[in-house]
Copies of this chain bind each other. A is one copy, B any other.
C-alpha cells in the first residue's frame, strides 16, 4: 500500500521518508498489540503514542482519530490475510463452497485474537462519513478476497450485489459473535447460508431462470 500519512487521499500526498515509514509502522504495531490485549478500549491514544515512541500530536498527524487508526490497523491485517490466502487457495469444488471456506478460515484467524478482532470490527462499523475513504479501502480489500475465492474474473452486477450481501453478513455476524450474542456454530451456518446466493446469482443460474 505504501500509503502516505493520511492513508489514501485524493491529492496523492508526498511520499514518506524512511523514518516516517518506520514511525507509521511502529504506530500500527503498537495499535495492534494493545488491541490484542484489551480490545477497543485498551487502544488508548496516549498509550499508543508512548508504545510507538512518538508524541501524541504526531500520532494524530498520522491518524486523525482513534477510528482512523483502527481502520488502518484492520487494513494492515487484511493485507496479511490476503497474501496468506493467496498462497493457499481454498479447495472447494464450487464457488459458494470456496467462499465459505475462505471466510471461515478468516474467521478462525480472528478467533485467535478475539480482542484485536473486536477493536477492528467495532471501529469499522462505528466509523462515520469522515472515515469513508479508509473504510472503503477495507471494503474493496474484502471484496477482492471474496472474488478471488469465487474465481470470478468479471462479475455481473448481480454477483457484485451478492458479494456485498456476503460482506454485510460477514461483518454483522462477526459483531454478533464478538458481543457474545451468537455462537461460532451459528456464524458458520449463517455464512454458509449466505454463500448460497453465489450459486443463485451465477450467470448460468440466471440463464436457467
**Partner-B contacts on A (CB < 8 A):** 40, 118, 122, 125-129, 131-132, 135-136, 139, 158, 161-162, 164-165, 167-169, 171-173, 175-176, 179-182, 186, 189-190, 193-194, 196-197, 200-201
Contacts and interface: CB of A to CB of B under 8 A. Distances in A.
Given A40-B128, A165-B190, A168-B169, 7 more contacts: A122-B128, A135-B181, A161-B189, A165-B193, A168-B173, A193-B197, A196-B197
B175 A169 contact: no
A50 B181 CA distance: 34
A123 B165 CA distance: 21
Contacts of A165: 165, 169, 190, 193-194
So how many copies of this chain end up in the complex? Answer: 2
A161 B140 CA distance: 26
Contacts of A171: 168, 172
A158 B182 CA distance: 16
A183 to B, nearest CB: 12
Nearest to A180: B129
Contacts of A181: 132, 135-136, 139
Contact of A129 (B179, B189, B194): B179
Contact of A172 (B118, B162, B167): B167
Contacts of A164: 173, 182, 186, 190, 193
A179 B128 contact: yes
A160 to B, nearest CB: 9
